[in-house]
Structure 1
Amino acid sequence: MASPTPFALAAAAGGPSLLVRQLFDPETSTFTYLLADVPSRQGVLIDSVYEQHPRDLSLIRELGIHLVASLDTHGHADHVTGSWRLHRATGCAIGLDAVAGAENVTLPLRHGDQVTFGGRHLEVRATPGHTDGCLCFVLDDHSVAFTGDALLVRSCGRCDFQQGDASTLYHSITEQILSLPDHCLLYPAHDYSGRAVSSVAEEKACNARLGGEADERDFVGYMENLHLPHPNRISIALPANLRSGRPADGGLEEADDWGPIERSYAGLPELTADWVADHRDELTLVDVRSESEVQGPDGRIPGSLLIPLPELERRAGEIPTDRPTVVLCHSGSRSGSRSALATQQLQKKGLTRVANLRGGIRAWKAQGLPLEYSSVTPSGP
């Protein structure tokens, strides 16, 4: 007898006809949801994150799901959507509220629309107030709703930018979400305290902003006195999401044939530690930490070439050009680490086969990959 497919095994936990997966991005505390109709294997993804595209696409492909649409509950201010990348990889539709006016949207959505995937569908409910273009997606049997930032677990979205309005949000939540059956499960777009799901009954009773006996006046007074700082990524996220996540340069970079390169939204080419470890003999590893760091408790990767970042411009000619180069530092962060800067410098000097080691020495060490610890003879003159 043939073994069951991964899709069949995964679907077994989601009931006889629906697969639901909740995914999480720890950098932005964003929940992404994959839904699929089991008989047809058609599915949708809700609130994707640009940097999590490889994870999401891998899951979709492993389970053999045909992605019908990548949907966003609104134009996010705290992260860039992965919709354009999913559209490019799978041909799926890009769905967003028509009010948002974003480019590259192939499925403009309005209140009362339905998004069908196989034998199931999502009802589209307009829930403005956090932004003008907020939507809630309600499963056809009203057992589950994906509330975006309109209603969070014991909280709700802010109303102080992007055409937000507290009174409008109050009516959206009470009329479009809390009007659903008490047993309906509510899945938010974000949570910052480890809470993954709630229900209509819970939020009616316990939501600190509009639950219990709170009325519209209470809610508006609460929301108008939050005085929250703007999201850290708003200057990047808002314009990018008005392009549905398509990079400003068009994102039409050529495929890399020397390694499984993944690019951050800023376009930084990256490789994982395990792949680099498996191909060390085919690569030049350039460590741009200081000599004191290399000689310290973190150690170094055997065979790596030490060129501290301040010396890279002068010593770039020491890097062999007959093989790809992988640059590393302590953390290898996407948000501006030394190795990211070094990678960009080497690209400007004409190196085409160069990538950042994601996670740097920390990721290498965490995976138990080889390191050497001892006095290091400085490289170069």
Structure 2
Amino acid sequence: MTFNPGPVLQRSSALTHFFLAPNPGPMSLDGTHSYVLRGSPDASAVVVDPGPEDEAHLAALAGVGRVELILVTHRHADHTAGSARLHQLTGAPGRAADPAHCHGGGAPLAHGEAIRAAGLDITVLATPGHTSDSVCFHLPADGQYGSVLTGDTILGRGTTVLDYPDGTLGHYLASLDLLEALGPAAVLPAHGPVLPSLESAARDYRAHRQERLAQIRGALDRLGRDASVGDVADAVYADVGPSVRRAAELSVAAQLSYLRGGGSEGQAAPSGTVGY
């Protein structure tokens, strides 16, 4: 008989740990990271992205000590489905940019908001693009250069899908500019390994998007300017499997909208998921 130790709390940075949710898949990589933040070992905790509604996973999060606050990076169910239940288990208010994912009287998050909780200073950064409600959380005191919990805006492996039309490329590029300006902060993603430099990761993501745009421009030159999303996806993402075909088409739709709008769509933004 195989022994299952249950959820294991893993260190991700000086001030953060995480439980890996039991929801691996093509869009969630090894699973969702549900982060536990605290300024000192005896402080209360902030939980970021409770993850799926899995009772053992949520019980582990509730068991880390007093949970003071629950934060959510964006609306997708692999981040939010357990939020209401974790609020029930802990009594902690839940906060997100989308009021639909706020619980227990928690107010919607605002760009630039400074949160003081669990002995930590946390700055909210609106980073739309993956979704319209995506936010990141900056912990300036976490290590030499600080850290940023990036949700699905920047992943630890691969690149993220743009959930068009809710997420747009113009917004996403503006969000990458915002994150790059934070310099060599550690990247604490919702999926995949921790990355050493946010500045470097944001640059790599931007370069990837520019490469994809060049490929789509080439496909439009061959297929005609009015080519469908499906036809362009066939040309540019011919090597992707059926499990991520929809993600490829969403990213193509976002990029076509950006190109056909003259490259300015969504760029007034505040100043899931692999391989797109």
TM-score (norm 2): 0.63
Superposed, 1:291-302 pairs within 5 Å as none
Structure 2 counterpart of 1:46, from 48, 59, 75:
48
Q: Would the aligned equivalents of 1:187 and 1:198 in 2 still touch at CA under 8 Å? A: no
Give the Cα separation in 2 of the matches to 1:103 and 1:79: 10
Structure 2 counterpart of 1:167, from 165, 170, 185:
170
Encode CA deviations 1:211-240: one digit per residue, 9 max, x unaligned.
4xx6x7546456885765347xxxxxxxxx
Judging changes above 3 Å, is the alpha-carbon distance between structure 1 residues 149 and 14 closer, same or farther for their aligned structure 2 residues? closer
Give the Cα separation in 2 of the matches to 1:69 and 1:59: 12
Structure 1 position 52, deviation (Å): 3.7
TM-score (norm 1): 0.47
Structure 2 counterpart of 1:55, from 51, 54, 57:
57
Structure 2 counterpart of 1:200, from 185, 198, 201:
198
Q: Would the aligned equivalents of 2:67 and 2:90 in 1 still touch at CA under 8 Å? A: yes
Give the Cα separation in 1 of the matches to 2:10 and 2:162: 38
SS of the residue aligned with 1:85? helix
Judging changes above 3 Å, is the alpha-carbon distance between structure 1 residues 140 and 41 closer, same or farther for their aligned structure 2 residues? same
Structure 1 position 83, deviation (Å): 1.1
Give the Cα separation in 2 of the matches to 1:166 and 1:13: 29
Q: Tell me what 1:158 maps to.
A: 161
Structure 1 position 25, deviation (Å): 2.2
SS of the residue aligned with 2:68? strand
Structure 1 position 75, deviation (Å): 0.3
Superposed, 1:234-253 pairs within 5 Å as none
Structure 1 position 173, deviation (Å): 1.3
Judging changes above 3 Å, is the alpha-carbon distance between structure 1 residues 210 and 11 closer, same or farther for their aligned structure 2 residues? closer
Give the Cα separation in 1 of the matches to 2:135 and 2:212: 20
Q: Would the aligned equivalents of 1:166 and 1:219 in 2 still touch at CA under 8 Å? A: no
Aligned AA (2:133) = G
Structure 1 position 57, deviation (Å): 3.0
SS of the residue aligned with 1:156? coil
Superposed, 1:190-269 pairs within 5 Å as 190-191=191-192, 195-204=193-202, 207=204, 209-211=205-207, 217-218=210-211, 220-221=213-214, 228-230=244-246
Judging changes above 3 Å, is the alpha-carbon distance between structure 1 residues 130 and 204 closer, same or farther for their aligned structure 2 residues? closer
Q: Tell me what 1:114 maps to.
A: 114
Aligned AA (1:197) = L
Structure 1 unaligned regions, length at least 5: 1-9, 232-381
Structure 1 position 31, deviation (Å): 1.4
Q: Tell me what 1:24 maps to.
A: 20
Higher RCO by CA contacts (8 Å cutoff, separation 6 or greater): 2
Aligned AA (2:44) = Q
Structure 2 counterpart of 1:35, from 34, 37, 46:
37
Identity %: 26
Structure 1 position 204, deviation (Å): 4.9
Judging changes above 3 Å, is the alpha-carbon distance between structure 1 residues 145 and 50 closer, same or farther for their aligned structure 2 residues? same
Give the Cα separation in 1 of the matches to 2:168 and 2:56: 36
Structure 1 position 197, deviation (Å): 3.4
Q: Would the aligned equivalents of 1:153 and 1:198 in 2 still touch at CA under 8 Å? A: no
Q: Would the aligned equivalents of 1:146 and 1:186 in 2 still touch at CA under 8 Å? A: yes
Q: Would the aligned equivalents of 1:153 and 1:203 in 2 still touch at CA under 8 Å? A: no
Encode CA deviations 1:119-141: one digit per residue, 9 max, x unaligned.
21210000001111000000033
Which structure is higher in strand share? 1
Q: Would the aligned equivalents of 1:128 and 1:134 in 2 still touch at CA under 8 Å? A: yes
Judging changes above 3 Å, is the alpha-carbon distance between structure 1 residues 221 and 127 closer, same or farther for their aligned structure 2 residues? farther
Judging changes above 3 Å, is the alpha-carbon distance between structure 1 residues 103 and 160 closer, same or farther for their aligned structure 2 residues? closer
Aligned AA (1:185) = A
Encode CA deviations 1:263-294: one digit per residue, 9 max, x unaligned.
xxxxxxxxxxxxxxxxxxxxxxxxxxxxxxxx
Superposed, 1:349-364 pairs within 5 Å as none
Judging changes above 3 Å, is the alpha-carbon distance between structure 1 residues 114 and 57 closer, same or farther for their aligned structure 2 residues? farther
Encode CA deviations 1:187-215: one digit per residue, 9 max, x unaligned.
11123xxx34342254256x3x424xx6x
Judging changes above 3 Å, is the alpha-carbon distance between structure 1 residues 199 and 52 closer, same or farther for their aligned structure 2 residues? farther
Q: Tell me what 1:365 maps to.
A: none
SS of the residue aligned with 2:108? strand
Give the Cα separation in 1 of the matches to 2:135 and 2:215: 23
Q: Tell me what 1:185 maps to.
A: 186
The number of residue pairs the alignment matches comes to 205
Q: Tell me what 1:67 maps to.
A: 67
Q: Tell me what 1:123 maps to.
A: 123
SS of the residue aligned with 2:38? strand
Structure 1 position 168, deviation (Å): 1.2
Judging changes above 3 Å, is the alpha-carbon distance between structure 1 residues 222 and 128 closer, same or farther for their aligned structure 2 residues? farther
- What CA RMSD, in Å, does the superposition of the two structures yield over aligned residues? 3.2
